[in-house]
């Protein structure tokens, strides 16, 4: 039986208090399985980023519990959360945040220099289809290519989980597909448990599991019996 890498129980997050309180998450109970690619789908403001940030140790719940394997994230100190992020989590955000004065390889090496068991930057870039661009600077790359370098940077430390917040949000569909194909390949080849936020419903078809958000609550969980390759997605 598949093992749950993430599990939440009545997870809630409130920002502010009193009349100004925003209930970003309202009691989310869900699981994400080892080796799976999960898509978090929902409209803007439905709580997806808040949920992903708590799973990644970047934000804290107001109530409820969350686990990474058998470690309870919601019981960890800030120091433990920092160590958890450093050792286990790769992040990809909508904007690539590459250092403009460093080449692709140097951007990836920033991470591999401080990781315990990193893959060589060349290998990470090869895995996202950027092996031929290792000496290029961000300004010499398209948005989709820069995003693939940021995926290489995220996987180079061999994280157990890869958390991606709108990785194609700033891209057109053609370059977006190349980024999704890179994520799909990493999930298949390395078995990295991957969570991808999107508000683009077409992307759900590449996932093993789809978790839908609406107004901070779950509005459904589906498993895809058959997955569509990113290259065949329509959006």
Ligand X SMILES: Nc1ncnc2c1ncn2[C@@H]1O[C@H](COP(=O)(O)OP(=O)(O)OP(=O)(O)O)[C@@H](O)[C@H]1O
Task: Please report, as ranges, the residues that interact with ligand X according to CB under 6 A.
Answer: 15, 22, 24, 42, 44-50, 199
Residue 12 buriedness (CB in 10 A; 0-12 / 13-18 / 19+):
buried
Residue (55 or 109) nearer to ligand X, CB: 55
Residue (45 or 143) nearer to ligand X, CB: 45
CB of 186 to ligand X, least distance (A): 23
As a whole number of angstroms, the distance between CA 149 and CA 129 comes to 9
* φ, ψ at 20 (rounded to 5°): -90, 0
CB of 124 to ligand X, least distance (A): 27
Residue (24 or 128) nearer to ligand X, CB: 24
* φ, ψ at 14 (rounded to 5°): -120, 135
Contact 59, 35 (CB under 8 A): no
CB of 40 to ligand X, least distance (A): 8
Residue (22 or 201) nearer to ligand X, CB: 22
As a whole number of angstroms, the distance between CA 43 and CA 201 comes to 10
CB of 105 to ligand X, least distance (A): 31
Contact 127, 152 (CB under 8 A): yes
Residue (23 or 86) nearer to ligand X, CB: 23
CB of 130 to ligand X, least distance (A): 27
Contact 90, 55 (CB under 8 A): no
């Amino acid at each position: 039986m598949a093992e749950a890498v993430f599990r939440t129980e009545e997870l809630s997050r409130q920002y502010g208090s009193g009349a100004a309180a925003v209930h970003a998450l309202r009691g989310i109970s869900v699981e994400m399985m080892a080796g799976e690619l999960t898509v978090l789908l929902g409209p803007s403001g439905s709580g997806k980023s808040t949920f992903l940030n708590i799973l990644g140790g970047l934000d804290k719940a107001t109530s409820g519990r969350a686990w990474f394997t058998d470690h309870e994230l919601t019981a960890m100190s800030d120091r433990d959360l920092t160590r958890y992020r450093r050792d286990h989590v790769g992040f990809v955000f909508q904007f690539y945040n590459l250092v403009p004065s460093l080449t692709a390889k140097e951007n990836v090496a920033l991470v591999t220099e401080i990781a315990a068991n990193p893959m060589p930057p060349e290998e990470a870039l090869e895995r996202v289809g950027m092996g031929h661009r290792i000496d290029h600077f961000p300004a010499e790359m398209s948005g989709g290519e820069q995003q693939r370098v940021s995926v290489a940077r995220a996987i180079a430390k061999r994280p157990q989980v890869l958390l991606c917040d709108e990785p194609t949000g700033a891209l057109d569909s053609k370059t977006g597909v190349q980024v999704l194909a890179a994520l799909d390949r990493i999930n298949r080849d390395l078995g990295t448990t991957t969570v991808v936020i999107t508000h683009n419903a077409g992307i759900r078809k590449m996932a093993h599991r789809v978790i839908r958000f609406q107004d901070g609550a779950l509005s459904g969980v589906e498993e895809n019996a058959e997955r569509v390759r990113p290259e065949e997605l329509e959006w």
